[in-house]
Amino acid sequence: MARRGVLLAVVLSALVVVTGASAAAPRVRLTVYAAADLAFALKEITAAFERTFNVDVILVLGSTGNLAHQIEHGAPADLFFAASDTFIDRLVERGAVLRETRAIYAQGRIVLATARSAGTKLTDLRQLAEPRVRRVAIANPLHAPYGKAAEEALRRAGVLDAVRPKLILAENIRQALQFLQTGSADAGIVALSVAGVPEIEWVPIDPALHNPLNQAVAVVRRSAQPDLASAFVQFVNGPQGRSVMKRFGFVLPGEP
Amino acid sequence: MDWFPVWLSVRVSLAATALTLLGGVPLAWLLARKVPRLKDLLGAVVVTPLVLPPTVLGYYLLVLIGAGSPIGRFFESLGLELAFTWRAAVLAAAVGSMPLLVKALQAGFEGIDPRLEQAARTLGHAEWSVFWRVTLPLAWRALVAGTVLAFCRALGDFGITLMVAGSIPGRTQTLPLAIYDLVQANRMHEANLLAAMTIVAVLVLLLGVGRIARVRY
């Protein structure tokens, strides 16, 4: 019957399409896994690195926790820029990344952000307790490093209990920013590195209010080109990379 | 604009639909038969992908087929790496689609008058022939509806694919993952364009299939 013919044809053609599907381009490729907060800075640095070294860099962005799981289970990464050093340390323990390549590439900073749609700019964490602030966006402190720092800052400023009912927990720091950009939250605590958007105003939060946000990188053990991967780390921490990183709000410990 | 995710998604969802049909048709047939205990257990297992959060399901799938697992090592020894390749994306989409096809088709099989199949048997047809010539044609609409649902679910899969195939641009970044990435990067115009294109393409496809198979959703 014609219907069975159609069914068979669909299944067979799908199988043909699939067996024909294959990967491409045998040019030297470096696959860099990186935390979502690095999106803007690394895209710029990557372009410069590709020109200098004449290679292709594939940037895979995601939440540090997810990417760490994937690297532990054999993801084809050469290099992993985590949003926190604790994830790198765990991967070092489990043998998924090379211990001797572990390096701090930045220290994260957090800022108190106010959505422009919500009115006057907040300048002090304690103002978050005021009734005019109804919703406060932060990243989920349970697994997002910037969320954890935000919670610590609120606690040390003495307003965590007052603010807790207003908290909206985002999956990561970029989603927290989106809550502010869309006006779903009046205020929030986000990373300095992503705060340069027109919809919000911000003031820096005193880094003494939270544990240092050390961001670490390491070369993945399964990498077939650890030397090129190390060269990328050096490039990020070199003069060209540093000027971009600084512009996006990432500084090294001791840097002004 | 990078069109790779579009083609990847077309291929992956077609392949996943084929895989879902290969596994799902026999499964639905089995569930519609009278083996009671097996049926209850299997019927419950089949719907678990609908219950678990997709990323959690994807994580379990990753543990199951990842580089360190026995299954992952076996396929790697055959030169067929699974995790973080397009094959993993196909697998992820098929896992998400399976319950939709199986449940739709099971209902279709169960609605068939068993006397029609009996009649075919008395006319000397073997079980395979009865299935192919009587059961399946009678459940045709359920099959088409289930297949369409499975294809749409495969095309839209996000969470399972993200975990087990990654979101590697140019390799495993399917359409939903690409749209998500564009939204995250604040490139809303491109994201909106891709999303609108997907919706229009699927609408055209659904209307076309509905016409040809005379099925309504």
Number of domains into which chain B is organized: 1
Which residues, including other chains, have CB under 8 Å from residue A192's CB and lie 6 or more apart?
A108, A109, A110, A111, A202, A204, A249
**Per-residue confidence (pLDDT) for residue A23, from 0 to 100:** 45
pLDDT above 80 (res B124)? yes
**Cα nearest neighbour of A181 on chain B:** B186
Per-residue pLDDT averaged across A132-146, rounded?
A: 91
Tens of pLDDT along A158-187?
999 999 999 999 988 888 998 999 889 999
Confidence band for A10, pLDDT divided at 50, 70 and 90:
low
* Cβ contact B3:B194 at 8 Å: no
**Per-residue confidence (pLDDT) for residue A6, from 0 to 100:** 56
Task: Specify the amino acid at residue A141.
Answer: P
**Per-residue confidence (pLDDT) for residue B156, from 0 to 100:** 95
Q: Rounded to the nearest 5 degrees, what angle is found at the Cα of B165, between the Cα atoms of B163 and B166?
A: 65
- DSSP per position, chain A: -HHHHHHHHHHHHHHHHHHH------S-EEEEEEEGGGHHHHHHHHHHHHHHHT-EEEEEEE-HHHHHHHHHTT---SEEE-SSHHHHHHHHHTTSB-GGG-EEEEEE-EEEEEEGGG-SPP-SGGGGGSTT---EEEE-TTT-HHHHHHHHHHHHTT-HHHHGGGEEEESSHHHHHHHHHTTSSSEEEEEGGG---TTEEEEEPPGGGS--EEEEEEEBTT-S-HHHHHHHHHHHHSHHHHHHHHHTT-B-TT--
Three-class DSSP category at B54: helix
**Per-residue confidence (pLDDT) for residue A112, from 0 to 100:** 97
* Cβ contact B89:B15 at 8 Å: no
**Per-residue confidence (pLDDT) for residue A7, from 0 to 100:** 54
Residues in chain A: 256
**Per-residue confidence (pLDDT) for residue A155, from 0 to 100:** 97
Q: In what order do the strands lie in the sheet with A79-81?
A: A56-62, A29-35, A79-81, A213-219, A103-108
Per-residue pLDDT averaged across A187-216, rounded?
A: 93
**Cα nearest neighbour of A182 on chain B:** B186
Which residues, including other chains, have CB under 8 Å from residue A73's CB and lie 6 or more apart?
B62, B63, B66, B67, B68, B83
Confidence band for B185, pLDDT divided at 50, 70 and 90:
confident
**Per-residue confidence (pLDDT) for residue B138, from 0 to 100:** 93
B170 vs A contacts (CB less than 8 Å): 24, 58
What is the percent of chain A where pLDDT is above 70? 89
Per-residue pLDDT averaged across A208-221, rounded?
A: 95
A76 vs B contacts (CB less than 8 Å): 84, 166, 168
**Per-residue confidence (pLDDT) for residue A8, from 0 to 100:** 57
Give the DSSP H or E segment for B6: helix B4-32
Nearest to B49 by CA among B26, B77, B74, B16: B16
pLDDT above 80 (res A242)? yes
Cross-chain Cβ contact A74/B17 below 8 Å: no
* Cβ contact A33:B28 at 8 Å: no
Range of the domain at B123: 4-213
Cross-chain Cβ contact A18/B14 below 8 Å: yes
Per-residue pLDDT averaged across A35-56, rounded?
A: 92
What is the percent of chain A where pLDDT is above 90? 70
Residue ranges of the alpha helices (H) in B112-170? 114-122, 127-130, 136-138, 140-156, 159-164
pLDDT above 80 (res A207)? yes
pLDDT above 70 (res A88)? yes
pLDDT above 70 (res B178)? yes
**Per-residue confidence (pLDDT) for residue A120, from 0 to 100:** 86
Three-class DSSP category at B77: helix
- The CATH number for B121's domain is 1.10.3720.10
Cross-chain Cβ contact B90/A66 below 8 Å: no
**Cα nearest neighbour of A38 on chain B:** B185
Distance between CA A18 and CA B22 in Å, rounded? Answer: 15
The rounded radius of gyration (Å) of the Cα atoms in chain B is 19
Cross-chain Cβ contact A60/B163 below 8 Å: no
* Cβ contact A209:A152 at 8 Å: yes
Least-confidence region, from A95-99, A104-108, B85-89: A104-108
Q: What ipTM was estimated for this complex?
A: 0.78
Q: How distant is the Cα of B31 from the closest Cα of chain A, in angstroms?
A: 21
A66 vs B contacts (CB less than 8 Å): 55, 162-163
Mind listing the domains of chain A with CATH numbers?
29-107+213-247 (3.40.190.10), 110-204 (3.40.190.10)
**Per-residue confidence (pLDDT) for residue A253, from 0 to 100:** 77
